[in-house]
Structure 1
């Protein structure tokens, strides 16, 4: 997939969701220090700006931080309208918002499931539906959808709500690639491994209230909290890779980031292919 934006990197306008902490905040810092114009979609604009100031971030005058609820269609639409008014265009869209939800299927309430889908799936749709008209009209642009290796694999249960939203995001992304290709707009799916951020121990990770003792979900909760600070992924390096993609002359359809993501992707697809071959005759037996 060829890159689509020939603008110099400093001329590009970025629209990024999930910028309060972690990868989103690190990406903001990197972009601003490199002179890019950025719209930061965040629940707490003042907090985001304060964090950037603490880091000594340059060019804060090029930042438009907008309090936006991505689960609200009108809120997203208004944020994009403000971006166009302020920056004149949008070149790179990064769908980075999301949160995790832990619980066995039986433990999850309807509200639990609706809430995570509202952010991880429907929120992404809101952003895409209102940014793609501009990208299509200008015949250029790049969309980066931040997913996870859990979009094609599993940690072994009790994380189905999060995993299924990432499966959905992967499907949305792969379809969108085909839809926007005729308009010179590129879409890249990024599958993250574990990244050393505050995702688990901060405010982006929820646990169902309806725990059932037999599932021992509490053990998994404690494991997540224990090992999260030791995740292999470096958020600064992830942010740098995302930035580098925006200046690449050739873009991948999908990109796994992190050694754990690579290992799990390789094992998952090899096992899947093995199963396909083992059941080859049975698969063909259902044809007319």
Structure 2
């Protein structure tokens, strides 16, 4: 560990969030972690760790609830250095089959909950002119070509877009921002409760966990990125995420080249250049 930091991690009931919190605490960092059930979170972490760990019962869709959680973190530890917006839910189904309540609930959890955390913590980071925000998207927030996952993908594309804009805004304050695209995350025997971070592989073939990424290595990647001199804006986690992103980029490049003439043809014609 290069230096002790104060971390705020959301969505720590299971999966990558829980693995990350355990690793941070083992390394001596101070950690505030949110879950819908703070008592269960305390049991999952397995130690009270007074003065080092703050479990918070938070409904991230409730703006006041989120602000109280951030205030509690600052009161307990004196500040916030790193925020990991990890909370989210997967919603599967054809777009025309999902109800309005289901769709809006998905955006409340995956997008507006994240925005509530950002709006609560950014004034503090702006004032201290330092900090690092990790927003966890998904490879489906970069490549949406998967049937039955359109609603989930839409929320994660929203996360990707707002994070890129946040990075442009926050740079002037010395705040770093990283957009994380995990692929499938297998369950790890060493960290009971870890689950898939990207749901499509789990739903397609839940028995083939060896295809997923290691949540311990993924958590370590986030810790390393927080310590790096130059933080990545785009961080793909997992070979599947890396390959899927590369294939998407190549496909877009091919279409750009194929349709270049039509794309640029709608521009306003410069009569002076034509006359010359």
TM-score with structure 2 setting the length: 0.89
Deviation by residue 1:69-100 (Cα, 9 ceiling, x = unmatched): 00100100100111111111000000000010
Indicate how the Cα distance of structure 1 residues 190 and 228 shifts in structure 2: closer, same or farther if over 3 A, else same.
farther
Equivalent in the alignment of 2:267: 287
User: Quick check: 1:41–1:67 contact (8 Å CA) kept in 2?
Assistant: yes
Match of 2:25 among 12, 32, 53: 32
What number of residue pairs does the alignment pair up? 263
For the aligned residue pairs, the C-alpha RMSD in angstroms reads 2.3
Question: 2:87 maps to what in 1?
Answer: 97
Are the structure 2 counterparts of residues 58 and 228 from structure 1 closer, same or farther at C-alpha, using a change threshold of 3 Å? farther
Q: Distance in 1 between matches of 2:208 and 2:80?
A: 34
1:271 to 233, 244, 251: 251
What are structure 1's unaligned runs of at least 5 residues?
1-6, 206-219
Whole-angstrom distance in 1 between the partners of 2:7 and 2:56: 13
Contact 1:35-1:59 within 8 A present in 2 as well: no
Q: Does 1:179 align with 2:203?
A: no
Equivalents in 2 of 1:155, 1:269: separation in Å?
13
**Aligned-pair CA distance for 1:59:** 4.1
Retained in 2: the 8 A contact 1:102–1:221? no
The structural deviation recorded for 1:158 is: 1.1
Classify the secondary structure of the residue corresponding to 1:161.
helix
Query: For residues 141 and 42 of structure 1, what CA distance do their matches in structure 2 show?
Result: 22
Distance 1:245 1:201 in 2: 21
Alpha-carbon shift at residue 110 of structure 1 (Å): 0.3
Counterpart selection for 2:3 from 5, 9, 26? 9
SS in 2 for 1:242: helix
Which residue of structure 1 lines up, in the alignment, with residue 43 of structure 2? 50
User: Aligned partners of 2:205, 2:42: CA distance in 1, in Å?
Assistant: 28
Match of 1:143, SS state, is strand
C-alpha deviation, 1:245, in angstroms: 1.1
What is residue 157 of structure 1 aligned with on the other side? 147
2:15 to 22, 44, 58: 22
Deviation sequence 1:213-252 (CA, Å, 0-9, x none): xxxxxxx899535356344211111111111111111111
Change (3 A) 1:89 1:165: same
- Work out the CA distance in 2 between the residues paired with 1:151 and 1:265: 10
Alpha-carbon separation, structure 2, partners of 1:182 and 1:116: 32
Match of 1:242 in 2: 222
> 1:136/1:8 Cα in 2 relative to 1: closer, same or farther (>3 Å)?
farther
Please give the secondary structure, in 1, of the residue aligned with 2:167: helix
Equivalent pair of 1:99/1:199 in contact (CA under 8 Å): no
Corresponding residue of 1:64: 54
- Indicate the residue corresponding to 2:274 in structure 1: none
